[in-house]
């Protein structure tokens, strides 16, 4: 279903309570399953990825489980099922079957699991035929340059392995804050670990079940920061965000200061305001926060700010090839974009005299949400899909309408 958004304002005023963090929610669901406990999780995300994971965890008797297009869910369930000792097939969408899983499967098999491919080597779908308690743990080397989700999947089962886990991260570590998020959440449940250089040690030990409160999603907040940067006046309250967040995307606070957006923390979350800040160009390495790259790329193009964004190597294996998708959609709007497999440069900004065509989302929630703030400049925008945002932020269009049309 296509979707049209409109606005007649240049002001950004109002209050939004953001959805719970999908990244935190997915990790806590796996941790709770590993503890075989039923402690309450408050503020759990209603993102499709999270509801998919919750459904799968409640249907473990099913010999065929389908993660659909949920990448984090697929990686976490692969490790969880291998640890549990099951005989199951783990399926995914067409795009999921194009996203690599080989590094994680190799690591699990080295630890004593029995996981093999039902199709192309190194890619879903997979068959898990592990015996209960077959995984012993111990030393393991894993490539750290493709996806931090592999590492997080291994870390969460690590304390329950008889020998724990000594995980050596080989090569450049991407999305480091997501690994730290996983370790911080494990520590909340009383797990002791040591991370020194490229070695993470997690001794064998038990988790302690306890009630948990999920933070609001800083990735979701980033789209309102773009709206703020494109607005004439800003007085916007975003509820549920923490100053001392475990989310790497909280760095959006610092990034957006470059564009004149000020963040004031309060008891409910943050309040955004704006000052005039001239900026001639922008450069940033997104290795630690790749989910913010689309947001910032669109903003720089909208403000006609020459930009060079690096550390984008993981974007090619997301819901779509996000680098290619950004280039295609921005160039439809008159921008000049130069890309490599690891970077994107804005050479010329968007031409707002061009009547915007239908914007393609490529079945990628972040493509839709990153481009949506451009409605402030165009007054009306059309997208090829509406429900795509359900993957991480089902209420996005409604919340956007609240601040733009009420």
Write out 360-403 in H/E/C secondary structure: CCCCCHHHHHHHHHHHHHHCEEEECCCHHHHHCCCCHHHHHHHH
Give catalytic status of residue 291 as yes or no: yes
Structure-block tokens of residue 90 = 């783990």
Peptide bond into 152 cis (omega under 30): no
Structure-block tokens of residue 229 = 């940067």
The Cα–Cα gap between 140 and 196 comes to 15
Which is the catalytic residue, given 49, 291, 321, 364?
291
The Cα–Cα gap between 368 and 393 comes to 11
State CA 101 to chain mean position distance: 17
E strand or H helix that includes residue 3: strand 3-6
Indicate the DSSP class of residue 233: E
Give Cβ neighbours of residue 116 (< 8 Å, ≥ 6 apart). 105, 126, 127, 129
Structure-block tokens of residue 312 = 């984008």
The catalytic residue positions are: 291
């Amino acid at each position: 279903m296509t979707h049209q958004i409109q606005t007649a304002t240049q002001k950004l005023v109002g209050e939004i309570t953001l959805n719970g963090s999908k990244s935190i929610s997915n990790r806590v669901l796996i941790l709770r399953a590993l503890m075989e406990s039923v402690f309450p999780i408050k503020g759990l995300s209603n993102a499709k990825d999270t509801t998919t994971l919750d459904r799968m965890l409640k249907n473990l008797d099913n010999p065929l489980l389908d993660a659909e297009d949920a990448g984090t869910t697929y990686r976490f369930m692969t490790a969880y099922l291998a640890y549990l000792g099951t005989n199951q097939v783990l399926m995914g969408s067409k795009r999921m079957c194009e996203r690599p899983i080989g590094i994680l499967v190799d690591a699990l098999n080295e630890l004593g699991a029995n996981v093999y491919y039902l199709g192309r080597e190194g890619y879903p779908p997979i068959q898990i035929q592990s015996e209960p308690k077959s995984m012993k743990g111990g030393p393991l080397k894993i490539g750290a340059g493709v996806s931090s989700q592999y590492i997080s999947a291994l870390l969460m089962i690590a304390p329950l392995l008889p020998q724990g886990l000594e995980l050596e991260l080989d090569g450049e570590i991407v999305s480091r804050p997501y690994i730290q998020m996983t370790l911080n959440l494990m520590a909340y449940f009383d797990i002791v670990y040591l991370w020194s250089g490229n070695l993470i040690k997690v001794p064998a030990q038990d988790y302690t079940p306890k009630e948990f409160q999920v933070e609001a999603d800083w990735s979701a907040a980033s789209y309102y920061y773009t709206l703020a940067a494109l607005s004439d006046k800003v007085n916007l309250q975003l509820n549920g965000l923490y100053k001392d967040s475990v989310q790497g995307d909280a760095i959006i606070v610092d990034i957006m200061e470059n564009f004149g957006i000020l963040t004031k923390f309060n008891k409910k979350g943050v309040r955004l305001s704006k000052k005039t800040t001239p900026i001639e160009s922008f450069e940033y390495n997104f290795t630690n926060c790749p989910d913010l790259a689309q947001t910032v790329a669109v903003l720089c193009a909208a403000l006609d700010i020459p930009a060079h964004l690096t550390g984008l190597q993981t974007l090619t294996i997301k819901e779509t090839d996000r680098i290619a998708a950004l280039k295609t959609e921005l160039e439809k709007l008159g921008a000049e974009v130069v890309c490599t497999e690891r970077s994107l440069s804005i050479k010329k900004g968007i031409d707002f005299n061009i009547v915007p065509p239908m914007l393609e989302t490529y079945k990628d929630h972040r493509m839709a949400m990153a481009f949506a703030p451009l409605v402030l400049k165009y007054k009306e925008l059309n997208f090829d899909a509406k429900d795509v945002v359900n993957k991480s932020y089902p209420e996005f269009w409604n919340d956007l309408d609240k601040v733009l049309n009420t």
